[in-house]
Structure 1
């Protein structure tokens, strides 16, 4: 029966959150097939046929085979990218494109499958301008924001809205002396702006005079809100300095959360808010593939149960 088979977990080898979810599903006797699309084709194979019923066929790893017509859910986390290092550059580009649109297209087209989240929805939501526009439409409060490659525009924005912070629009792998590094959120002044701004796009945003941060994790029909207290501009830079507490949602915000997710066709989202001295919640971003399990460890919230229920397709 369609949707009564395994849960596909698509992620890389080093994913402790996925490990916990798989363990919970195993305890429930729910079959799981874990795969990393980056293992294709040396340790992952696909044999799919397009029929009047949709996609049929199999997806096989060295230890598991999934019937594509019976997959109940797909948990799309953080797979590694396709790579063909044995090929010349031009041939490798061709092979990557075929893998992306072939295997990727099959994974995105499973009949009767619940996606957590659909990879196309994730891709759309990861564009920060799209996310901010959707947040404004959903009714969230947004700090004044500009995206520009013009130094004069950046300077004028800082003068008008200062203090202002700079945020990367995306966070690809960035190495300094061979060490993976993070481009941090940082306050920026007019004197920091030079002609180098013209080299690419930049996001500048008014800094919220915050008293705390809040991470709101939506897992299907359940919402978990955790206040994060620290003295940090960006709390993700030092987890040892954070303290956590469960907090209620302000009136009306639940509708905005689900309006945002509906816009992108998502059923999971990790929302970040800054709370100011007037207790107003300012939307910062929503990560459609964000981390969440560490918050259960810190607060006791039943987030793992909620995620397993969603993937098992179990109604509360």
Structure 2
């Protein structure tokens, strides 16, 4: 029976169970490795001797030879080394965490089987600038954009385009007194020019504000494209950034179809990156122009999956992992 390794964490959502269910229906076995249990409970070992490389992955339930794994889903890597800080002298903690991360990500990077996601893939897709340049090159529309830490460049961009939004390029959050405050997309006008001086300390991305007829979330798995839309302009808190009101909108998304030329370009984008999973944000303007905003290498999909009959996104993920559906070959070491 083929073994499918899922890399995630203990706090992940129920999408893991749905994908696992479909993997088992494909007569494959799931091995789950939670990174927040590494290194205190889960263990990794790689040995080269007598001309042979052997790697082992150990959980509380099993010890697995990695060359017995047919495919890997690198889903999440949150809270690595959980509990370690309380177990060791604080002066060693930072250095130890550096070794833990390097070992874990090196281990994940070196799989010589098919992998749906890798640390290096996630790092590359973190570049919003490259995303936009590639999308533009393959013919997707993108908004006028300025990425800068120069206040003067930002001011000139805002003066030229008038209606401009500012956003962070990462999941930017501020923690104060144990409370997390996520920085969402916001409108920036000339009356905010004084605040732009803070760009000297932290760059931002600015884009011409696209009027929204609809917003799309497009999840691509292999060659399967699942598009959903929402009229975010009906909801005050969602007008600029739908994530602000994401919980209230969770059951208001509707399945939709992409125009054929847009779907072809979306699939071409994944071809360029050589990945089999991506969650794209697209804005449809009142003129029915489709504007690519970004692609997320590990974007969430569970709330959309629940809107399909039979959790079809989970099924597509399982089919790609089990080699039951077309996939882009990324077996570098094979």
TM-score (norm 1): 0.91
Is the contact between residue 10 and residue 36 of structure 2 (CA under 8 Å) also seen in structure 1?
Answer: no
Q: Aligned-pair distance for 1:169? A: 1.3
Is the contact between residue 75 and residue 298 of structure 2 (CA under 8 Å) also seen in structure 1?
Answer: yes
SS of the aligned residue for 2:157 comes to helix
Match of 1:131 in 2: 131
C-alpha distance in structure 1 between counterparts of 2:261 and 2:274, whole Å: 20
SS of the aligned residue for 2:260 comes to coil
Relative to structure 1, is the Cα distance of residues 18 and 271 closer, same or farther in structure 2, using a 3 angstrom cutoff? same
The within-5 A match list for 1:259-270 is 259-270=268-279
Q: Aligned-pair distance for 1:38? A: 3.0
The within-5 A match list for 1:125-274 is 125-194=125-194, 195-231=197-233, 232=238, 233-239=240-246, 240-241=248-249, 243-274=252-283
Q: 1:59 aligns with which of 57, 60, 63?
A: 57
Match of 1:68 in 2: 66
Which aligned runs of 4 or more in structure 1 are off by greater than 3 angstroms?
26-29, 50-55, 81-84, 86-90
- CA RMSD between the two structures: 2.2
C-alpha distance in structure 1 between counterparts of 2:221 and 2:286, whole Å: 29
How many residues of Structure 1 are paired with residues of Structure 2 in the alignment? 312
Match of 1:280 in 2: 289
Is the contact between residue 55 and residue 69 of structure 1 (CA under 8 Å) also seen in structure 2?
Answer: no
C-alpha distance in structure 2 between counterparts of 1:136 and 1:90, whole Å: 48
Relative to structure 1, is the Cα distance of residues 183 and 55 closer, same or farther in structure 2, using a 3 angstrom cutoff? farther
Q: Aligned-pair distance for 1:23? A: 3.0
Match of 1:95 in 2: 96
Relative to structure 1, is the Cα distance of residues 121 and 55 closer, same or farther in structure 2, using a 3 angstrom cutoff? farther
C-alpha distance in structure 1 between counterparts of 2:283 and 2:157, whole Å: 21
C-alpha distance in structure 2 between counterparts of 1:217 and 1:54, whole Å: 40
Match of 1:13 in 2: 10
2:301 maps to 1:292? yes
TM-score (norm 2): 0.86
Q: Aligned-pair distance for 1:55? A: 4.8
SS of the aligned residue for 1:210 comes to coil
C-alpha distance in structure 2 between counterparts of 1:191 and 1:53, whole Å: 67
SS of the aligned residue for 2:253 comes to strand
